[in-house]
Structure 1
Amino acid sequence: MHRSTTDLSPTARRTRRLIVEAAIETLAGDTSATLAEIAKAGDVSRSTLHRHFTDRGDLLAAVDEECRVRFARADEAARLDGEGALNSLDRLAQEYLGLGSVLGLVFADNALVDPDAWEEGEQRVQALLAVIVQGQEAGEIDAELTPDWVLTTFWVMLFGAWLSLKTGTSRRDVGVQLSRTLRRAVGAGAS
């Protein structure tokens, strides 16, 4: 198990954060990256990495927890309960797009992070479905699409946006295209 950071010095907490960030960035590109590759990316020695994380599983647990925190921040920043359902979905898509490499861990062939598996995962899904139903009832989201279909479409579009980021398209351009596509695909006036 990974250690609690409450007992660590500020320097040790900073080093630990750097290692976790290096792991997120490295594993987003290659889920089979070694601890040596992660240490190199974090500009720390393997012995330093092992002082903080006893093995790969320990490090992956810390990565999962960091991703969980970042998703929670994105959920909060998106304000799903304000300014209409379609706007809420768009804000959430933009917040999730801002997670960058974390999406690489979610969308990888051998995904290392699964937001649906977290304790709050089912709550996240239910909250999104509620926003979609609310949008359908308000005439914003196409009522002929099932809420599950809209939710799946949301994630597929986010995957496409992440792929575009990986190929070098600017974050701004990807965000604009994601918003436009999402609104046209599920919006009530889309058909």
Structure 2
Amino acid sequence: MGHTVSWRAPLCHGVFSAYHSGMGKTASSAPGTLPRTRRAILDAAIGVLAEDRTASLGDVARAADVGRSTLHRYFPDRAALVRALFEDCAEVARRSLADAALDQGPPAEAFGRLVAAMFDLGPRVDFLFAEPQLGDEEWDGELWERAQTPAAMLFERGRAEGYFAADVSLEWFFRSLWYLMSAGWEAITEEGLARHEAVALVTRTLTSGLVARGAADPG
């Protein structure tokens, strides 16, 4: 792979309480409540920077069809823009996983919805994972933990019901998810794989591994 991906799993049990206290709230930075110009800048920025992380703020302004002075009024520097992109991504992820209703239905069906929802976050997440201006303060913070809480709760429910293996940790669960998501995104951009094919391969690899069913166990 041509870039670094981080799994960025929630690491504390506080993530579960965050689900009950915060999942029903709408953040002030939610995409639907942003001023139109700010929304246009964020949408343009994630496209431009995901394609070329060395792109300038001028490149972002041109893609958003706004002047440099307008962009700087919202985001005075690159660090402020990246931070806003992270907050926006966390909100989009939170909404996507909430809409996937991971607390409903058998774990196997909910897991399929989880993979599809996470996959559609696409280059938005892939770019931010590799962004050096974002560190543990952001990825281990409340925003990202809250976004991933439904997935963490699905894992705990699935493990309790015997769907996920008892010896698989929450950390490994998230590592596997994000690394395979990245592989799927790369397969689309580099190999021309269709989205539904990539999602199916990611899901199958996560649920069944790479060894064909019925293959002889070398042990």
Task: Report the alpha carbon displacement of residue 144 of structure 1 after superposing the two structures with TM.
Answer: 4.0
Task: Report the alpha carbon displacement of residue 111 of structure 1 after superposing the two structures with TM.
Answer: 6.9
Look up the SS of the partner of 1:21 in the other structure.
Answer: helix
Aligned partners of 2:94 and 2:147 also within 8 Å: no
Q: State the match for 1:140 in structure 2.
A: 163
Aligned partners of 1:29 and 1:104 also within 8 Å: no
Aligned partners of 1:154 and 1:182 also within 8 Å: yes
Q: State the match for 2:187 in structure 1.
A: 164
What is the percentage of aligned positions where both structures have the same residue? 31
Which ranges in structure 1 are unaligned for 5 or more consecutive residues?
none
Task: Report the alpha carbon displacement of residue 20 of structure 1 after superposing the two structures with TM.
Answer: 0.8
Pairwise CA RMSD of aligned residues? 3.2
Which residue identity does 1:175 align to in structure 2? V
Matched, 1:119 2:148: no
What is the number of residues matched between the two proteins? 181
- C-alpha distance in 1, partners of 2:51/2:164? 35
Q: State the match for 1:185 in structure 2.
A: 209
Aligned partners of 1:97 and 1:103 also within 8 Å: no
Task: Report the alpha carbon displacement of residue 112 of structure 1 after superposing the two structures with TM.
Answer: 4.7
Aligned partners of 1:71 and 1:96 also within 8 Å: yes
Look up the SS of the partner of 1:31 in the other structure.
Answer: coil
Matched, 1:38 2:60: yes
Question: Cα–Cα, structure 1 residues 113 and 27, in superposed 2: closer, same or farther, change >3 Å?
Answer: farther
Aligned partners of 1:103 and 1:162 also within 8 Å: no
Counterpart among 93, 97, 111 of residue 119 in structure 2: 97
Which ranges in structure 2 are unaligned for 5 or more consecutive residues?
1-27
Counterpart among 51, 60, 65 of residue 29 in structure 1: 51
The runs of 4+ residues in structure 1 deviating greater than 4 Å are 111-115, 123-127
Q: State the match for 2:199 in structure 1.
A: 175
Task: Report the alpha carbon displacement of residue 172 of structure 1 after superposing the two structures with TM.
Answer: 1.9
- C-alpha distance in 1, partners of 2:124/2:117? 12
Counterpart among 1, 10, 13 of residue 35 in structure 2: 13
Q: What whole-Å deviation, never above 9, does each CA across 1:151-187 have from its counterpart, x for those lacking one?
A: 321221112112223323222221222222222139x
